Structure 1
Amino acid sequence: MARIVERSSGPQSISHGGETVTPPALESAPRLEALPADAEFALCLTHDVDRPYKGLRGLFFATRERPGYHLRTVLSGENPYWQFENVMALEDDLGVRSSWYVLNEQHLLLDRPPRDWTAPANWIQHLGRYDVTSDEIAGVLRALEEGGWEVGLHGSFHTADDPARIREETATLESVLDGPVTGGRQHHLRLSPPETWHYYRLAGLAYDASLGSTTECGFHHGYHPIRPFDDEFVVFPLTIMDQALPDPARRPNAARRTCNRLLEEAAANDAVMSVLWHPRYFSEREFPGHRDLYRWVIERGQELGAWIGSPRNYLEAVDADCVPGDESARAPASDPTGGASLATDREPSATAGSDPTTGGGQPASTDGGLERASDERAGSDVANGVSDRRGAR
Structure 2
Amino acid sequence: MIPTVYLAIDPLLTSHRAEITYTWRTLLTGMGYSWCERAWGEAPVTIAYTTDPAHTPPAAMVINARIERWRAPAQTRLIGSKQWHGYTLPLLADDQSTGQPIVANGCLYIPDDPIFAAFWLLSGYEEEQYPVLKHGYRDLSGTPMIEEGLLRRALVSAIGCWLAERLEQFGLPSGIPRWPNGAQLAATCGHDVDYPEVVRWLEPLRVIGRQGLRGLGAALDVIRGRRHHWHFHSWMDLEERIGARSAFYFVARKGSLREYATGLPDPFYDVQAPHFRALFRELSNAGWEIGLHASYRAYSDRTLFAAERAWLAAASDQSIEGNRHHYWHLNSQQPEQTLLLHEQIGFCYDASLTHNRYLGWRRSSVWPFFPWHRTLRRSIRTLQLPTGWMDDHLFGQKRFNPGDPHTLLTELRETVTRQGGLLLVDVHDYVYDDRLFPGWAATYRELWETLAAQGRVWFTTPAAIAHHWIRRATQIETASIGLNG
Alpha-carbon shift at residue 3 of structure 1 (Å)? 9.4
1:98 is displaced (CA, Å) by: 0.3
Residues 172-211 of structure 1: matches in 2 within 5 Å?
172-192=311-331, 193-211=335-353
Aligned to 2:110: none
Which whole-Å CA distance do the structure 2 matches of 1:170 and 1:321 have between them? 26
Paired letter, 2:440: H
Residue of structure 2 equivalent to 1:10: 119
Equivalent residue of 2:284, what SS? helix
Distance 2:137 2:415 in 1: 28
Task: Say if 1:108 and 1:122, in contact at 8 Å, map to a contact too.
Answer: no
Give the superposition deviation at 1:284.
Answer: 1.0
Match of 2:193 among 43, 49, 67: 49
Judge conservation of contact 1:246–1:254 (CA < 8 Å) in 2.
no
1-structure distance, mates of 2:345, 2:293: 13
- Relative contact order (alpha carbons < 8 A, sep ≥ 6): 1 or 2 greater? 1
Larger Rg over CA atoms? 2
Matched letter for residue 239 of structure 2: E
Task: State yes or no: 1:260 paired with 2:423.
Answer: no
Per-residue CA distance 1:23-47 (angstroms, 9 max, x = gap): xxxxx9xx99932231111112111
Q: Within 1, Cα distance between the matches of 2:205 and 2:196?
A: 16
Runs of 5+ consecutive residues of structure 2 not aligned to the other structure: 5-24, 28-114, 141-155, 161-175, 372-377, 480-485
Task: Look up the match of 1:359.
Answer: none
2:380 and 2:475 map into 1 onto residues whose CA distance is: 12
Residue 143 (structure 1) aligns with: 282
- Equivalent residue number for residue 78 of structure 2: none
Tell me: CA distance 1:33–1:155, structure 2 relative to 1, closer, same or farther (3 Å). Answer: farther
Mapped to 2, the partners of 1:291 and 1:71 lie a distance apart of: 18
Choose which of 220, 225, 235 in structure 1 pairs with 2:368.
225
Tell whether the 8 Å contact from 2:367 to 2:422 is kept in structure 1 after alignment: yes
As a proportion of its length, which structure holds more helix? 2
Match of 1:84 in 2: 232
CA distance in 2, matches of 1:50, 1:61: 14
In structure 1, the residue matched to 2:184 is 40
What letter corresponds to residue 237 of structure 1 in structure 2?
P
Contact 2:179 2:186 in 1 (8 A): yes
Instruction: Choose from 459, 465, 476 the match for 1:324.
Output: 476
Which letter does structure 2 place at the counterpart of 1:6?
T
Cα 1:255–1:2 change in 2 (3 A) is farther
1:103-149 deviations in Å (ceiling 9; x for gaps): 1234459xxxxxx85x73648x46x5100111112211221111111
Structure 1, 194-203 or 66-75: larger mean CA deviation = 66-75
Counting aligned pairs with the same residue, the percent is 23
CA distance in 2 between partners of 1:170 and 1:217 (Å): 28
What is the total number of aligned residue pairs between the two structures? 309
Q: What is the Cα deviation at residue 159 of structure 1?
A: 1.0
Change (3 A) 1:320 1:134: farther
**Cα separation, 1, equivalents of 2:408 and 2:2:** 30
Equivalence for 2:206: 61
Q: Tell me which amino acid in the other structure corresponds to 1:324.
A: I
Unpaired segments ≥5 residues, structure 1: 22-27, 110-115, 328-393
Q: Which residue of 2 aligns with 1:157?
A: 296
- The CA deviation string for residues 297-349 of structure 1, in whole angstroms up to 9 with x for no partner, is 1122221522122210112334246322679xxxxxxxxxxxxxxxxxxxxxx
The DSSP-based 3-state class of the residue aligned with 1:168 is: helix
Q: How does 1:225-304 map to 2 (within 5 A)?
A: 225-228=368-371, 229-230=378-379, 232-245=381-394, 254-302=404-452, 303-304=454-455
Deviation at 1:246, TM superposition (A): 5.3
Q: Which has the higher strand share?
A: 2
Equivalent residue letter for 1:234:
L
Question: CA 1:2–1:168 in 2, change beyond 3 Å: closer, same or farther?
Answer: farther
In the superposition, the TM-score normalised over structure 1's length comes to 0.69
Task: Specify whether residues 258 and 20 from structure 1 end up closer, same or farther in structure 2 by C-alpha distance, changes over 3 A only.
Answer: closer
Q: Is the 8 A contact 2:323 2:350 kept in 1?
A: yes
SS at the partner of 1:105?
A: coil
Matched, 1:310 2:455: no
In 2, Cα distance between equivalents of 1:284 and 1:34: 36
TM-score normalised by the chain length of structure 2? 0.57
For residues 284 and 62 of structure 1, the distance between their equivalents in structure 2, rounded to whole angstroms, comes to 12
2:192 partner amino acid: D
**Secondary structure of 1:281's aligned partner:** coil
